[in-house]
Amino acid sequence: MSTSTTRSAPTAPDDTPAAPGTPRAPGDAVPLLSVRDLSVRFRRRDGAHIAAVSEVSLTLRPGECLALVGESGCGKSVLASALLGLLPANAETRGSALLDGGLDLLTAGERTLSRTVRGRRVGLVPQSPAAHLTPVRTVRSQLAETVRELVGPPRADLATATVAAAERAAFPADHLDRYPHELSGGLAQRAATALALVGEAPLLIADEPTTGLDRELAERTVDELRGHTDAGRGLLIITHDLAAAERVADRIAVMYAGRVVELADAGPFFGTPGPRHPYAAGLLDALPERAFTAIPGMPPELGDLPTGCAFAVRCRYATDRCAEPPAPRDGLACHHPLTGGETRE
């Protein structure tokens, strides 16, 4: 697995909040994002509920990249949608998500989110970029509008600034006059990334930003996203691409069945002693460059979760204790944590 040296976000005792919408110096004590006990439930027509996200707590500090990883359907993208107020009408949320120590994203109204948060204080690289691009407008038109609204260059410089914004995400200038339906999946991803980077938002959420990209371009993309953390900005990257996560993340949050089951520094997680949760270890062991061994079984349905540990039916270490839900402690929710010496094959 190819890697580059990741940068730790230093800490300092300064707890003075920055002005809204501006990046803060790395080391500020007040997190850019503080999520506490966030839960998301979807009401079904039959009255039942689907527990998509359950009691998630995490923080993102200035100058830091946090990677949220896990199998499809574990709740990663739902969490991102909750932070930006993009959930459907049948969603119910609990908990809090404080932006820069002040605004609660879960209770903020649509007017506030649309006018002062999205694109300005929180940028988004969406999971389905084609669905977020306006189908009847060219990429150039959409990118120019975003540059004009968020950057405000002189009219004479707008065309040049638009091309520069495209180049930042490796979007080819000779494709700027194409419509979204004329783009490949990879080009649509690059267009969405370019749009998200324009505003230099203090917090950037990138949801599967390497989808449809070859390895070289994926590495270039995550390196550009990692550069967003300069000057005290923060990056929350949601990804299946563990190579990308290892390349740029300072910390790793592992989600399973709607819960964060492990939160760890990236270096020890990918290196020694390795993951502490058996599920997290299984994710790494499934990589071709590692054991190339799949995790047995399938994730549980979020509408029919067990009362105890949701991973127990797939876990070789499960015992009767796992009939009770493990309480999160020191960044881990597991009754049988690994110590680094176990044979996992």
Mean pLDDT along residues 41-53: 94
Burial 76-99 (b: 16+ CB within 10 A, else e): bbbbbbbbbbebeeebebebebbb
**Cβ burial, residue 268 (10 Å; 0-12/13-18/19+):** middle
The SS3 assignment for 240 reads coil
Q: Is residue 7's pLDDT more than 50?
A: no
Residues 106-132: tens digit of each pLDDT: 999 999 999 999 999 999 999 888 888
Mean pLDDT along residues 218-241: 93
Q: In this structure, are residues 320 and 266 in contact, taking their beta carbons and an 8 Å threshold?
A: no
pLDDT at 261: 98
pTM reported for the whole predicted model: 0.88
Q: In this structure, are residues 151 and 161 in contact, taking their beta carbons and an 8 Å threshold?
A: yes
Give the DSSP letter of residue 67.
E
Q: Is residue 2's pLDDT more than 50?
A: no
pLDDT at 75: 95
Please give the C-alpha separations between residue 45 and each of 1, 114, 275, in angstroms, as whole numbers: 45, 29, 39
Q: Which long-range contacts (CB under 8 A, 24 or more apart) does 45-50 make?
A: 48/303, 49/92, 49/303, 50/302, 50/303
Which tokens go with 197? Answer: 């980077």
Q: Is residue 42's pLDDT more than 90?
A: yes
pLDDT at 205: 97
Tell me the backbone φ, ψ of residue 69, rounded to 5 degrees.
Answer: -125, 160
Mean pLDDT along residues 280-301: 95
pLDDT at 15: 34
CA–CA separation, 105 vs 103, rounded Å? 6
**Helices marked H in 133-277:** 139-150, 158-168, 185-197, 215-227, 242-248, 266-270
